[in-house]
């Protein structure tokens, strides 16, 4: 066998509780040995990883990809390359493409385009309802069989509780996992930021936390009743965390994620009407952010990207008129690492939330240990650089790191043993 | 983007745009009022124009219809001898942002010196101030629920002229605070100019969350809210509020918050009554009060032109010093 | 350079003014001082004339021709004139005349209050350097200053001259 030899890397793998400096030998897409030379075979390439970290590849539980349907916002290649640059090996694509990913043809198209691009692996999320309209069930089994890893309705409402109940019952029958987003659109109507003092001062219509918690209560009660495998996407409120914890204590198997932006920022960021911070779910209060951080630290909450690239014109408008969303893939890991350097999260908790937990939620194995598929990231934790537009692979320059100095950089990404970038 | 209160000042603290009363110093707000006072005296002459802004082009850029406000800005610009162009731009339902940017680029090509902007989105004037080429002064004539600083300053001038000073006064703002850009701008100006207390009175549905954070004290009852008030400012109630489940009816609102002679008696006997207009008689205020001797509503209208002349002159002056320092550099 | 004694100059100017009013038959003249120094001088002269006429003040901030250079004067005080100057004999008073631009602005402003019967110009000091064809009818003293030098009047009590 011909081996890739990664020399002297600091291996950080919370799944196997590993944090050690060792050599790694990779062949045929998997890690063969760690810390000892394989008995036979030749070394094809040696990478000196002294001072670098070898981490399990990041897995995103939800990002918006612009293909098919939004060529002005980016391409499959630009965004999946950006994802790799941010440390992702796998990304779940949200189904709000054009056309909506509610047919097996669109799921196949996404997979083909992603394979052709050859960067991060795309795990498509199928639409729960036809056209995401929240009324008629999509062909859920067909979508699942076509390769959708789970089904989602993005942030589009399922207004009718009856439909939501039947949808969950149907999914439960075939053990299809649902990624549900708690968003009561009647309470959120017209709002463009968190309802609170900042919104009052700025004269912007607010989205109350009840827009999330009321919808979440409905989801949790129906999930409990139907026994569906439910994951709550894009949690933004501290109160939601308590509700999910309560549900778990009642014995429900329920997972959740929060967008990175909600861990990094609060509604105070909107002061000055910077449309970059017009995001859904909205950036909430510092108390909410602290509650989310605590849940991540406790290992109860995964971190997703909620990546949403936009062309310049989409953001060049007064705050409430700008399209919501933030480009997140490029620099994702260094941005997330700022939580570690600020002492808000341990490194283990962070890796757990961006890789281990998402893998569990998707039923995948993602670990840097012997006989595991080699899906990993070599990360340089020290290099500091100022991010310019040239550093972004994403077409969406609506990225909060632009112009700021960031420590740490993804050096190489391996997917199934292949170096992608 | 930077804080809206910073965007409007030059480095040496002079006005170059007028976007909000938030974050402006007491000295600067007082300078606006003093300058407006001087313009009031020119308004009493045979010839009411002064040649200050001769050769300057002011564009009234109204994305939201308001004939009243637009007319006072138009008159103010004319009395400063500026050329004025009125543009009423209906907002198109699609690609609103692009339309706005396209409009701005077109206007810049006309060598405008000042835009007076009215827009339904909070932060629109601030957005335009950041997007237009330098040396175009932006005057906010109302943006969404955010700010209406010239209206607030004419209200301050009204209080100062009728009550000598704003310092130490108790002021109540009554009605739909939630949707009111006027109220927000008034609260900041009143706080900075030294009002003893700023109160907001209305039902819970029309008082925004955490209004205390802006320095206003909420009241739900007129008797308590108006006690010891020197100034009572009534806000206009829009009909839409009833459709949005914020209020049951105009009659119930009038019963609870409509300013009648009986309710006005809760305030100090020398309290003045103000209203930014246009008045809904019998909804927020009864005619006997609106036309009564404590009402200064008509005076407000006449001060509006002087205040607008003052901020236009001051902002253009701030821009002018910027242009000069660039040329010298 | 020796600066003239202001009190003496004012005294002399008052006498000249009285004589001019009499000689020209100016009935009920209106003294108009240009803010700020001109108002102080006007008040002196009025006192010397035994307060027989009123003093008005003119703030030319809105009429300056250098707005595009210097912007608006930060402390505009406004003008205080009678309701009309129609058919009045105006005695326009300033502390120092130099380019003549201030006087042009002041006359423009006066005409926006009405059509005066006549305007006479009185200046405490004339330092030359005229840029417009404007000359005072009466002048307290003439000074020749070095290039770049200016003279400044401070007041109102006492009135003092200083070089700047």
pLDDT at residue C148, rounded to an integer: 83
Between chain A and chain B, the number of residue pairs with CB atoms below 8 A apart is 90
Q: Do C72 and B324 touch (CB under 8 A)?
A: no
Chains that touch C (3 or more CB pairs under 8 A): B
Query: What CATH number is given to the structural domain containing A278?
Result: 3.20.20.140
Name the burial class of residue C61, with classes exposed (0-12), middle (13-18) and buried (19+) by CB atoms within 10 angstroms of its CB. Answer: buried
> Are A101 and A110 in contact, with CB atoms under 8 Å apart?
yes
Chain A residues within 8 A of B210 when measuring between CB atoms: 196-197, 200
For residue B213, the chain A residue with the least C-alpha distance is A197
d(CA A408, CA A349): 18
Distance in Å, alpha carbon of C39 to nearest chain B alpha carbon: 17
pTM summary value? 0.89
Same domain, A38 and A124: no
Minimum-distance CB partner of C68 among B31, B49, B320: B320
Q: Is A291 helix (H, G, I), strand (E, B) or coil?
A: helix
Contact residues, A window 302-321, toward B, CB-based 8 Å cutoff: 313-321
Q: Is C23 on the interface with B (CB under 8 A)?
A: no
Element (H, E) at C58: strand C55-58
Find, among A61, A60, A71, the residue nearest to A310 by Cα.
A71
Distance in Å, alpha carbon of B141 to nearest chain A alpha carbon: 15
On the question of a cis peptide bond just before residue A99, with omega within 30 degrees of 0, the verdict is: yes
pLDDT at residue C95, rounded to an integer: 93
Torsion angle in degrees (nearest 10) through CA of A125, A128, A132, A138: 110
pLDDT at residue C82, rounded to an integer: 86
Q: State mean pLDDT over A232-244.
A: 98
Q: Which CATH class is domain B149-300?
A: alpha beta
Same domain, A139 and A150: yes
Give the mutation candidate from C36, C64, C75, C76 for the B interface (greatest B CB count, under 10 A): C76
Distance in Å, alpha carbon of B47 to nearest chain A alpha carbon: 40
Chain B residues within 8 A of C76 when measuring between CB atoms: 34-35, 38
Residues 6 or more apart from A387 whose CB is under 8 A from it?
Answer: A330, A331, A399, A401, A402, A403, A404, A405, A406
- What's B282's DSSP letter? T
> Are C91 and C30 in contact, with CB atoms under 8 Å apart?
yes
List the domain boundaries for chain B: 4-147+302-328, 149-300
pLDDT at residue B93, rounded to an integer: 40
Cross-strand bridge partners of residue A121: A90
The boundaries of the domain holding residue A70 are 57-362
First to last CA, chain A: 23
Residue B300 φ/ψ region, left for φ over 0, alpha for ψ in the -120 to 50 degree band, beta for the rest: alpha
d(CA A112, CA A134): 27
Distance in Å, alpha carbon of B130 to nearest chain A alpha carbon: 11
Minimum-distance CB partner of A321 among B1, B2, B121: B121
Q: Do A314 and B209 touch (CB under 8 A)?
A: no
Q: Is A202 on the interface with B (CB under 8 A)?
A: yes
pLDDT at residue B90, rounded to an integer: 64
pLDDT at residue B87, rounded to an integer: 81
Q: Do B211 and A322 touch (CB under 8 A)?
A: no
- What's B92's DSSP letter? P
Q: Do A273 and B210 touch (CB under 8 A)?
A: no
Chain A residues within 8 A of B184 when measuring between CB atoms: 201, 203
> Are A111 and A104 in contact, with CB atoms under 8 Å apart?
no
Same domain, A326 and A389: no
Same domain, A44 and A97: no
Contact residues, B window 31-50, toward C, CB-based 8 Å cutoff: 31, 34-35, 37-39, 41-42, 44-47, 49-50
Cα–Cα separations (whole angstroms), residue A164 to A160, A170, A178, A220, C89:
7, 10, 11, 11, 90
Q: Is B256 helix (H, G, I), strand (E, B) or coil?
A: helix
On the question of a cis peptide bond just before residue C158, with omega within 30 degrees of 0, the verdict is: yes
Q: Is A204 on the interface with B (CB under 8 A)?
A: yes
d(CA A274, CA A322): 10
C-alpha B58, offset from chain centre: 19
> Are A381 and A407 in contact, with CB atoms under 8 Å apart?
yes
Cross-strand bridge partners of residue A10: A21, A53
> Are A332 and A119 in contact, with CB atoms under 8 Å apart?
no
Minimum-distance CB partner of C78 among B37, B318, B321: B37
> Are B266 and B227 in contact, with CB atoms under 8 Å apart?
yes
Residue written as token pair 């050769």:
B55
For residue B184, the chain A residue with the least C-alpha distance is A201
pLDDT at residue B92, rounded to an integer: 46
Same domain, A124 and A253: yes
pLDDT at residue B2, rounded to an integer: 52
Distance in Å, alpha carbon of B42 to nearest chain C alpha carbon: 8
Chain B residues within 8 A of C77 when measuring between CB atoms: 34, 38
Q: Which CATH number is associated with domain B4-147+302-328?
A: 3.40.50.1370
Helix axes C6-24, C37-48, angle to 10 degrees: 70
Chains that touch B (3 or more CB pairs under 8 A): A, C
Which residues in chain B show pLDDT less than 50?
Answer: 1, 92-95
Backbone angles phi, psi at B325, to 5 degrees: -70, -30
pLDDT at residue A95, rounded to an integer: 98
- What's C61's DSSP letter? G
How does DSSP assign B4-59, residue by residue? HHHHTB-TTS-BS-B--STT--HHHHHHHHHHHHHHHHHTTSSS---STTTT-EEE
Q: Do C67 and B52 touch (CB under 8 A)?
A: yes
Q: Is C36 on the interface with B (CB under 8 A)?
A: no
Which residues in chain C show pLDDT less than 50?
Answer: none
pLDDT at residue B111, rounded to an integer: 83
Same domain, A105 and A196: yes
Distance in Å, alpha carbon of B229 to nearest chain C alpha carbon: 31
Element (H, E) at B180: none
Q: Is C67 helix (H, G, I), strand (E, B) or coil?
A: helix
Q: Is A296 helix (H, G, I), strand (E, B) or coil?
A: helix
Contact residues, B window 183-202, toward A, CB-based 8 Å cutoff: 184
Q: Do B97 and A321 touch (CB under 8 A)?
A: yes
Query: What CATH number is given to the structural domain containing A387?
Result: 2.30.40.10
> Are B119 and B143 in contact, with CB atoms under 8 Å apart?
yes
Same domain, A221 and A242: yes
pLDDT at residue C5, rounded to an integer: 86
Quote the mean pLDDT of chain A: 96
**A407 token code pair:** 């420590």
List the domain boundaries for chain C: 6-163
Chain B residues within 8 A of A319 when measuring between CB atoms: 121-123, 127
Same domain, A352 and A237: yes
Each residue's pLDDT tens digit, A322-372? 999 999 999 999 999 999 999 999 999 999 999 999 999 999 999 999 999
Domain final position from A362, A383, A401: A362
Chain B residues within 8 A of C74 when measuring between CB atoms: 14, 31
Q: Write a three-state SS string for A313-342.
A: HHHCCCHHHCCCCECCCCCHHHHHHHHHHC
Find, among C146, C126, C128, the residue nearest to C138 by Cα.
C126
pLDDT at residue C57, rounded to an integer: 93
Q: Do C71 and B320 touch (CB under 8 A)?
A: yes
d(CA B219, CA B229): 13
Same domain, A139 and A18: no
Find, among A259, A255, A262, A330, the residue nearest to A88 by Cα.
A330
Residue written as token pair 């609870």:
B256
pLDDT at residue C53, rounded to an integer: 64
Minimum-distance CB partner of B210 among A196, A315, A321: A196
Same domain, A183 and A34: no
Handedness of CA B181, B182, B183, B189 (dihedral sign): positive
d(CA B46, CA B33): 23
CATH fold of C6-163, please? Answer: Rossmann fold (3.40.50)
Q: Do B147 and A203 touch (CB under 8 A)?
A: yes
> Are A327 and A310 in contact, with CB atoms under 8 Å apart?
yes
Q: Do C63 and B313 touch (CB under 8 A)?
A: no
Write the ipTM. 0.89
Q: Do A273 and B123 touch (CB under 8 A)?
A: yes
pLDDT at residue B324, rounded to an integer: 81
pLDDT at residue B177, rounded to an integer: 96
State the total domains in chain A: 2
Same domain, A186 and A61: yes
Q: Do B321 and C70 touch (CB under 8 A)?
A: yes
Q: Is C22 on the interface with B (CB under 8 A)?
A: no
Element (H, E) at B60: strand B57-62
Strand pairing class (C30-34; C89-97): parallel
């Amino acid at each position: 066998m011909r081996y890739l030899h990664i020399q002297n890397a600091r291996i950080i793998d919370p799944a196997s509780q590993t944090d050690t400096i060792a050599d790694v030998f990779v062949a045929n897409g998997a890690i063969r040995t760690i810390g000892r030379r394989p008995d036979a075979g030749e070394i094809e390439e040696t990478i000196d990883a002294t001072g670098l970290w070898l981490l399990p590849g990041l897995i995103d539980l939800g990002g918006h990809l612009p293909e098919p349907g939004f060529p002005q916002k980016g391409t499959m290649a630009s965004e999946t390359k950006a994802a790799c640059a941010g440390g992702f090996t796998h990304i779940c694509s949200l189904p709000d493409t054009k056309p909506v990913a509610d047919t097996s043809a669109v799921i196949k198209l996404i997979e083909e385009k992603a394979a052709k691009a050859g960067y991060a692996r795309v795990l498509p999320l199928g639409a729960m309802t036809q056209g995401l309209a929240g009324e008629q069930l999509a062909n859920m089994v067909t979508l699942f069989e076509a390769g959708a890893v789970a089904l989602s309705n993005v942030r589009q409402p399922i207004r009718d509780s009856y439909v939501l109940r039947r949808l969950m019952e149907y999914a439960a029958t075939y053990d299809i996992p649902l990624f549900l987003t708690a968003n009561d659109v009647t309470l959120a109507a017209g709002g463009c930021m968190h309802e609170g003092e900042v919104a009052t001062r700025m004269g912007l219509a607010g989205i109350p936390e009840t827009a999330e918690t009321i919808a979440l209560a409905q989801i949790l009660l129906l999930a409990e009743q139907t026994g569906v495998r439910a994951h709550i996407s894009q949690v933004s409120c501290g109160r939601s965390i308590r509700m999910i914890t309560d549900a778990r204590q009642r014995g429900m198997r329920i997972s959740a994620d929060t967008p990175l932006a909600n861990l990094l920022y609060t509604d105070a960021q909107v002061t000055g009407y910077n449309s970059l911070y017009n995001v859904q779910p909205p950036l909430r209060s510092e108390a909410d952010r602290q509650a989310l951080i605590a849940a991540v630290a406790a290992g109860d909450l995964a971190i997703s990207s909620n990546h949403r690239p936009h062309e310049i014109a989409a953001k060049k408008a007064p705050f409430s008129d700008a399209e919501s969303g933030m480009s997140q893939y490029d620099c994702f890991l260094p941005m997330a690492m700022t939580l570690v350097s600020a002492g808000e999260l341990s490194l283990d908790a962070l890796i757990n939330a961006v890789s281990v937990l998402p893998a569990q939620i998707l039923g995948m194995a993602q670990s840097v240990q012997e006989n595991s598929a080699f899906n990993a990231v070599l990360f340089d934790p020290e290099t500091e650089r100022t991010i310019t537009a040239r550093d972004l692979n994403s077409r969406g320059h609506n990225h909060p790191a632009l112009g700021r100095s960031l420590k740490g950089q993804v050096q190489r990404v391996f997917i199934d043993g292949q170096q992608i970038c | 983007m930077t804080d809206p209160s910073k965007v409007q000042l030059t480095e040496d603290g002079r006005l170059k745009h007028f976007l909000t009363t938030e974050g402006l110093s007491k000295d600067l707000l007082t300078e606006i009022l003093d300058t407006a006072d001087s313009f009031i005296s020119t308004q009493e002459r045979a010839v009411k124009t002064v040649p200050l802004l001769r050769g300057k082009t002011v564009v009234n850029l109204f994305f939201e219809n308001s004939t009243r406000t637009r007319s006072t800005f138009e008159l103010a610009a004319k009395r400063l001898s500026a050329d004025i162009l009125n543009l009423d731009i209906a907002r198109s339902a699609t690609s609103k942002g692009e339309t706005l940017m396209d409009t701005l680029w077109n206007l810049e090509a006309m060598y405008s010196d000042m835009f007076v902007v009215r827009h339904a989105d909070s932060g629109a004037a601030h957005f335009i101030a950041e997007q237009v080429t330098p040396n175009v002064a932006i005057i906010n004539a109302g943006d969404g629920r955010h700010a209406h600083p010239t209206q607030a300053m004419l209200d301050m001038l009204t209080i100062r002229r009728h009550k000598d000073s704003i310092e130490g006064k108790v002021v109540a703002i009554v009605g739909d605070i939630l949707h009111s850009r006027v109220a927000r701008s008034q609260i900041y100006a009143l706080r900075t100019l030294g009002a003893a207390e700023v109160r907001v009175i209305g039902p819970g549905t029309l008082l925004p969350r955490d209004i205390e954070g802006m320095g206003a004290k909420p009241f739900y009852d007129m008797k308590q809210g108006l006690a010891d008030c020197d100034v009572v400012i009534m806000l206009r109630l829009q009909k839409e509020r009833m459709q949005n489940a914020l209020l049951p009816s105009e009659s119930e609102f009038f019963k609870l918050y409509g300013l009648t002679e009986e309710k006005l008696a809760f305030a100090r006997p020398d309290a003045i009554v103000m209203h930014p207009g246009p008045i809904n008689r019998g909804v927020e205020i009864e005619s006997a009060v609106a036309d009564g001797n404590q009402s200064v509503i008509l005076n407000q209208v006449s001060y509006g032109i002087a205040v607008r002349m003052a901020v236009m002159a001051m902002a253009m002056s701030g821009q002018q010093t910027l242009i000069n320092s660039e040329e010298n550099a | 350079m020796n600066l003239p004694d202001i009190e003496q100059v004012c005294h002399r100017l008052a006498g000249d003014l009285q004589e001019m009013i009499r000689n020209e038959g100016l009935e009920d003249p209106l003294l108009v001082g240009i803010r700020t120094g001109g108002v102080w001088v006007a008040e002196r002269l009025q006192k010397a004339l035994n307060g027989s006429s009123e003093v008005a003040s003119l703030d030319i901030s809105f009429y300056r021709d250098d707005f595009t250079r210097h912007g608006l004067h930060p402390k505009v005080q406004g003008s205080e004139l009678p309701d009309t100057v129609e058919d009045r004999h105006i005695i326009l008073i300033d502390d120092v005349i130099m380019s003549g631009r201030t006087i042009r602005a002041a006359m423009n402003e006066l005409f926006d209050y009405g059509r005066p019967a006549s305007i006479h110009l009185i200046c405490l000091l004339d330092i030359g350097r005229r840029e417009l064809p404007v000359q005072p009818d009466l002048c307290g003293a003439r000074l020749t200053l070095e290039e770049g030098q200016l003279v400044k009047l401070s007041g109102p009590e006492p009135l003092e001259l200083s070089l700047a």
